[in-house]
């Protein structure tokens, strides 16, 4: 985990990416306290610190543009303005697509960010695609004035990357967030050109995500059946050392037709891997444990085996009221 509560924003620059490119001409230093706090939240808010990436290039890592520019900043901080402009130029060159929105580019150099209790330098790169309207309320000599102003919501999801300097012996660690799934291609693959540092974690995580999606979207499963299949999926990943999709299907699904099997295989076959315990631990926090009803009642379920769910929860239909119901069996209240 990266701790930034005592970090210091030493330099930052702003550029504008659109069909044309507007480069900031100054590297700003010593921002006032509230502005520094806002930039810190903009840079680090909701960054996924569980999935680490690293820069790569097919032939020579020095040909990876962002890697080269950030390494130059880490080595010589007075090159920040020049290198931040180079980063903006590179992003502009890979953003020539009508679906990629114009927006501001924030690049900041932070010092004293703690990674496992060691102070590190961090470069944050944030592309801001949207602005919002805020109300500016002023009380001047007992006279209230209200104006609408366009501004940036620092808590809103933007495409972002933080790059942590780990010294000469180790490559920089990269962590990202993307606003939309379709942004991955241009932000992760074309701009940053990064790959998962832990391939087993990466594939295990994606396998669990895709299995979950398939189970939840299949309408022929009842809510209790979906809960059971999700728990059996987690059980499979707990018990096995490697994920193999055919074995997974046989172990989890009692009945699955050829079309359904092909759908699962085509989706998760690329993610067959040695199972990562840390990715499994992450998935266990997000897998569904609730049945949500339109009456605003939620049933929390913590059962691993579908047979137990079927024994304890019964689904029915009341013809008199024309409504569905759940009947729950138990011995004692806790």
pLDDT band at 304 (very low <50, low <70, confident <90, very high): low
- Take residue 236 and report the two structure tokens written for it: 């499979």
- Write phi, then psi, for 298 (nearest 5 degrees): -115, 135
- Residues 22 and 106 grouped into a single domain: yes
Q: How far is CA 247 from CA 205, 239, 244, 253, 285, in A?
A: 18, 12, 6, 10, 24
H helix intervals, 189-305: 199-217, 223-239, 245-252, 258-268, 277-286
Residue 334 is assigned to a structural domain of this protein: no
Dihedral angle sign, alpha carbons of residues 301, 303, 308, 310: positive
Please identify, among 162, 197, 232, the residue that sits at the C-terminal boundary of a domain: 197
Residues 180-203: what's their mean pLDDT? 90
Which pTM was predicted? Answer: 0.75
Question: For residues 122 and 110, is the Cβ–Cβ distance under 8 A?
Answer: yes
User: Considering the domain boundaries, does residue 62 fall inside one?
Assistant: yes
Distance from C-alpha of 236 to C-alpha of 240, rounded to nearest angstrom: 6
Choose one of 197, 213, 236: the last residue of a domain: 197
What is the predicted pLDDT for the residue at 238?
93
pLDDT reading at 93 higher than 90: yes
Overall average pLDDT of the 59-81 stretch: 96
Backbone angles phi, psi at 246, to 5 degrees: -65, -45
- Could you give the C-alpha distances from 65 to 59, 152, 174, 191, in angstroms and in order? 13, 28, 14, 8
Same domain (yes/no): 67, 90? yes
Looking at the structure, do residues 283 and 224 belong to the same domain, yes or no?
yes
Total number of domains constituting the chain:
2
At residue 308 the predicted structure's pLDDT band, cuts being 50, 70 and 90, is low
Considering the domain architecture, whether residues 176 and 38 belong to the same structural domain is answered as yes
Give residue 185's pLDDT band: very low, low, confident or very high (50, 70, 90).
Answer: confident
Q: What average pLDDT does the segment 305-311 reach? A: 62
Task: Quickly state the pLDDT bin for 117 (edges 50, 70, 90).
Answer: confident
Residue 333 falls inside a structural domain = no
In a shared domain, residues 257 and 216: yes
Q: Please indicate, yes or no, whether residues 181 and 290 belong to a single structural domain of this protein.
A: no
Helix H or strand E encompassing 89? helix 80-93
Residue 143 and residue 192 in one domain:
yes
Q: Is 180 a domain residue?
A: yes
In-domain check, residue 137: yes
Of the residues 136, 169, 197, the one at which a domain ends:
197
Based on the domain organization, do 204 and 302 belong to the same domain? yes
Farthest CA pair distance, the chain: 78
Task: Report pLDDT for 154.
Answer: 84
For residues 29 and 104, membership in a common domain is answered with: yes
DSSP letter (8 states) at residue 201: H
Domain that holds residue 286: 200-328
Do 181 and 135 share a structural domain?
Answer: yes
Mean pLDDT across the chain: 89
| Nearest alpha carbon to residue 107 among 23, 14, 241, 217 | 14
In a domain, 279, yes or no: yes
Tell whether 38 and 72 lie within a shared domain. Answer: yes
Q: Which residue has the higher pLDDT, 170 or 222?
A: 170
pLDDT of residue 266: 93
**pLDDT over 70 at 306, yes or no:** no
The per-residue pLDDT for 176 is: 94
Tell me: the pLDDT tens digits for 233-269?
Answer: 998 999 999 999 999 999 999 878 888 899 999 999 9
**Residue at 238 is within a domain:** yes
**289 pLDDT more than 70:** no
183 with 204, same domain: the answer is no
Q: Is 210 exposed, middle or buried (0-12, 13-18, 19+ CB in 10 A)?
A: middle
Residue 310 — pLDDT band, cuts 50, 70, 90? low
3-state SS class at 85: helix
């Amino acid at each position: 985990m990266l701790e930034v509560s005592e970090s210091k924003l030493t330099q930052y620059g702003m550029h504008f990416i659109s069909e044309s490119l507007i480069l900031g001409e100054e590297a700003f230093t010593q921002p006032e306290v509230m502005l520094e706090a806002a930039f810190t939240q903009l840079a680090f808010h909701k960054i996924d610190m569980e999935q680490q990436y690293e820069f790569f290039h097919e032939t020579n890592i020095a040909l990876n543009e962002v890697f080269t520019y950030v390494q130059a900043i880490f080595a010589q901080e007075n090159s920040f303005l020049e290198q931040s402009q180079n980063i903006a130029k590179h992003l502009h060159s890979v953003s020539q697509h009508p679906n990629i929105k114009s927006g501001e580019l924030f690049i900041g150099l932070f010092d004293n960010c703690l990674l496992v209790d060691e102070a590190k330098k961090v470069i944050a790169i944030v592309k801001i695609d949207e602005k919002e309207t805020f109300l500016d309320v002023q009380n001047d000599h007992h006279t209230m004035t209200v104006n609408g102003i366009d501004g940036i919501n620092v808590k809103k999801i933007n495409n972002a990357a933080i790059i942590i300097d780990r010294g000469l012996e180790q490559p920089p660690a990269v962590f990202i967030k993307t606003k939309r799934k379709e942004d991955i291609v241009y932000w992760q693959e074309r701009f940053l050109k990064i790959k998962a540092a832990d391939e087993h974690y990466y594939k295990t995580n994606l396998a669990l995500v895709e299995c979950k999606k398939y189970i939840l979207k299949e309408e022929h499963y009842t809510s209790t059946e979906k809960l059971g299949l999700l728990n059996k999926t987690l059980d499979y990943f707990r018990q096995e050392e490697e994920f193999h999709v055919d074995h997974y299907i046989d172990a989890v699904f009692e009945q699955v037709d050829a079309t359904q099997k092909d759908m699962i295989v085509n989706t998760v076959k690329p993610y067959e891997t040695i199972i990562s315990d840390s990715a499994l631990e992450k998935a266990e926090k997000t897998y569904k444990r609730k049945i949500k009803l339109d009456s605003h009642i939620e049933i929390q379920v913590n059962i691993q085996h579908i047979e137990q769910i079927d024994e304890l929860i019964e689904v029915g239909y009341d013809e008199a009221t024309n409504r569905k119901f759940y009947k729950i069996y138990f011995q004692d209240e806790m």
